[in-house]
Chain A
């Protein structure tokens, strides 16, 4: 009798029609981690450290970028007109003051106001001389002034000669200055009229606001020039369309919405300083270290437990079952490591409020995604090892 005339080709009816086993294997995956508790703890610790470092580095970078753009984002200006030479608000040139009128006459513009920016030297009460960035804004709108002013300070405080507003955060540097105190800038006396908040520039300069004429006088800024033209959009106006109209009207100037100028500031900062590289590399290295630890331990566990995985194969685990099992283990490490690592991050953030650690939802979710991806990638070597296991090894004693 030939082998073909009787043998019915196998068509799967001998096996049960069962629900997919994958999700049910989560419990088994978890339990198997307890077979090597020290290794599992080591892996978890690696993920915790990795998540903490990723969060801390990315948070610091985000916080610093927030500070870098805080002048642009804290003012309530819709569109900025500035010199074509501008790379950031710190690296800019001046415009003819006539651009203010041209901007104001553009359809869709509710208002346009000049801002001048210059640098002077301030003498602190302790005698130390430092640079100060003096920003001049025009009454009555005072466009460019941060929207948040300290309690007791009104925009009108700048009316009158020689009055300045200083950053509430810088107050300790000025010996806890009070309204009415006198501060010398470039040898000229000014009076503290109040404080602004919500702007924490990542800059070696102190920022002070003065009225337009005083700022010019304090920094020797030309009368017929401005640094920025701040533009407010008419109600209902689309900013991108307004920006395009202004750009057509002012071809010799750079026109940016606040969002665009912020992005430009960030790019400039990231490219021109090592901060972006340092923190970006820090986050990347943290992710790689975490992935490497998980990869090494998962792989060595797969080798140590070859007999267990071989047994599972022999007793009927399909490739996708083993895939689920190992991926689930990687995801357990990712989830547990993420929770503990982020708890540590938030604890540090709580204990050290002076650090620019911010945690926007994008960062919290981004770190979760990074942990998940790095642990998943880290499990690939172990998965490959297990899938290639010869199940027949279980018959060798």
Chain B
């Protein structure tokens, strides 16, 4: 049984690293890294383009197999899991939010939200009930029948968040969730993610957007494939209260891991 301490850890990477290619063409994109994501926290991963942060997110999201190390979901290693078992884990335990929202264009907001439940083989009545609840949670219940093309970027992202939540995922993995959104909409989406973390979920956000720091509990920097954990996040004022990036001062710990 996982210990009490580990039960607070929703997602954990132990020594996870990644090398793409082999032989002379081998390129290490991620140094072996230990990283924990706890329930109730927002972990922000930042770094320059090509630094390896998306690779780290892909590994934590079980869509990319690490060359070394292992990932633990709720304290359990998934190293031996098959491709279908990993898919089932992603479906039931993880939620994904993408930069481009990645909604299926022919489906309404409700139908898009239903997809993970459909993949889980849930009954129709349960699907509709849970998807409606997820849309209510992100304030999109009144747009349930709208197709993505009729929704603004922010609305589409909120539908994507509802889709990520609908299976009661314990971890949300967000890739640049505000990059395609204007300032106001981005702040609204961040507020949604913050409140989800406060509800007990773990939220991991990969971003270039410093506005996101307003809702962060921890910051991880990725530089040239090296992960700098707990890069240091000092707030001045009530950062979470106003979710304003301007009131934040970021201190990056430059220690080599």
Contacts and interface: CB of A to CB of B under 8 A. Distances in A.
B78 interface: yes
B106 A35 contact: yes
Contacts of A169: none
Contacts of B116: 315-316
> Among the interface residues A7, A12, A312, which one has the most CB atoms of the partner chain B within 10 A?
A7
A281 interface: no
A326 to B, nearest CB: 14
B153 interface: no
Nearest to B206: A395
Interface stretch (A16-24, A69-77, A220-228): A16-24
B121 A19 contact: yes
A316 B87 contact: yes
Contacts of B106: 31-32, 34-35
Contacts of A8: 1-2, 75-77
A317 B163 CA distance: 14
Q: Is the interface of B mostly helix, strand, loop or mixed?
A: mixed
B85 A394 contact: no
Q: Give the size range of A's interface with the partner.
A: 35 or more
Nearest to B95: A315
Interface residues of B, number: 60
B85 A10 contact: yes
Contacts of A9: 76-77, 79-80
Contact of B120 (A16, A31, A312): A16
Contact of A15 (B91, B123, B164): B91
Contacts of A141: none
A320 interface: yes
Interface string A16-49: 1011110011001001101100000000000000
Interface in A374-397: 390-392, 394-397
Interface string B55-97: 0011001011000011011111111110111011111110110
B57 A10 contact: no
A27 B82 CA distance: 27
A28 B120 contact: no
A15 B102 contact: no
Contacts of B175: 394-395, 397
Interface of A: 3, 6-12, 14-16, 18-21, 24-25, 28, 31-32, 34-35, 307-308, 311-321, 390-392, 394-397
